[in-house]
């Protein structure tokens, strides 16, 4: 399999649940990212991992917890989310320093918090 | 404070005509700009980019223009095709920011027959 793969594609969870989003890249990139896309808002950067180390946490609430066990995998652990956290969560990877092609994105996980 | 702005949420263009999508930025440290295209239920895909040392970059039907003094860039698609119907995101980055991209809100392009 090639590119950036995200699972699951859709997720519905209650506010007391704990779930995880998974991202896997097969491009040999050394940086991975989590972005949040809400309606009528820009894509919001959540976390940046470069060489498996978190280099940026963009003031994201602690109910979102990232994990990067190796350069090919990235997780986003979710717990006690709020309805306003419902959004499309996009994973991306790149070869840092950034080349001429920017990021390669996955298809995203559509999260609904009920 | 939104550093990358796409003020037109939607645009409708007839097939064969030119589509012009606009983007403004406020951060003078940005030195690399990209356009992404997004279809429903898919992630954004890279379309074209431009470095701040250039004012134009062309790739087939797609051309990006950069006006640094106005902090403005635009994407021209000519001729427009129905398959171009998608949401287009403008993005920018600054050297030394851990490859971080800052995105605009997107413009939905509809190419009609």
Alpha-carbon span A96 to B43, nearest angstrom: 20
Q: Hunting for tokens 């404070």 — which residue is that?
A: B1
Q: Tell me what the mean pLDDT of segment A44-51 comes to.
A: 86
> pLDDT, tens digit, for every residue of B25-54?
999 999 999 999 999 878 999 999 999 999
Nearest to A105 among B2, B44, B106 (CB): B44
- Residues of A within 8 A of B57 (CB-CB) are none
What 3-state class would DSSP assign to B84?
helix
The answer for A 13-42 residues in CB contact with B (under 8 A) is: 31, 35, 40-42
pLDDT tier, B62 (very low <50, low <70, confident <90, very high otherwise)? very high
Alpha-carbon span B88 to B104, nearest angstrom: 9
Number of H helices, E strands in chain B: 0, 11
Q: Tell me what the mean pLDDT of segment A22-30 comes to.
A: 93
Q: Report the pLDDT value the prediction gives residue A98, as an integer from 0 to 100.
A: 57
- Residues of B within 8 A of A36 (CB-CB) are none
Q: Report the pLDDT value the prediction gives residue A103, as an integer from 0 to 100.
A: 87
Q: Are B44 and B36 in contact (CB under 8 A)?
A: yes
Largest CA distance in chain A: 42
Q: Residue B8 to residues A8, A22, B23, B79: CA-CA distances in angstroms? A: 32, 33, 9, 20
Q: Which of A5, A92, A29, A74 is nearest to B91 (CA)?
A: A92
Q: Tell me what the mean pLDDT of segment A36-59 comes to.
A: 81
pLDDT above 60: residue A100: no
pLDDT tier, A16 (very low <50, low <70, confident <90, very high otherwise)? confident
pLDDT above 80: residue A40: no
What 3-state class would DSSP assign to A83?
helix
pLDDT tier, A51 (very low <50, low <70, confident <90, very high otherwise)? confident
Is A45 an 8 Å CB contact of chain B? Answer: yes
Percent of chain A topping pLDDT 70: 91
Q: Which of B56, B47, B32 is nearest to B107 (CA)?
A: B47
**Do the chains contact at B46 and A104, CB–CB below 8 Å?**
yes
């Amino acid at each position: 399999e090639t590119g950036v793969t995200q699972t699951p594609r859709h997720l519905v969870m209650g506010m007391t649940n704990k779930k995880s989003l998974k991202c896997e890249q097969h491009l040999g990139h050394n940086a991975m990212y989590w972005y949040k896309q809400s309606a009528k808002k820009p894509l919001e950067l959540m976390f940046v991992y470069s060489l498996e180390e978190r280099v940026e946490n963009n003031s994201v609430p602690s109910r979102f917890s990232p994990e990067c066990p190796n350069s090919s995998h990235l997780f986003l652990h979710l717990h006690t989310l709020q309805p306003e956290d419902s959004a499309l969560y996009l994973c991306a990877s790149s070869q840092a320093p950034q080349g001429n092609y920017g990021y390669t994105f996955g298809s995203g996980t559509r999260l609904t918090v009920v | 404070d939104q550093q990358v702005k796409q003020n037109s949420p939607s645009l409708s263009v007839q097939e064969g005509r030119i589509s012009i999508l606009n983007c403004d930025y406020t951060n003078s440290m940005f030195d690399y700009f990209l356009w992404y295209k997004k279809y429903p239920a898919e992630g954004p895909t890279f379309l074209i980019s431009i470095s701040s040392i250039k004012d134009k970059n062309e790739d087939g039907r797609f051309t990006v223009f950069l006006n640094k003094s106005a902090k403005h860039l635009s994407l021209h698609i000519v001729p427009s095709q129905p398959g171009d119907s998608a949401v287009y995101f403008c993005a920018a980055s600054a050297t030394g920011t851990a490859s971080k991209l800052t995105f605009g809100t997107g413009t939905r392009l509809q190419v009609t027959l």
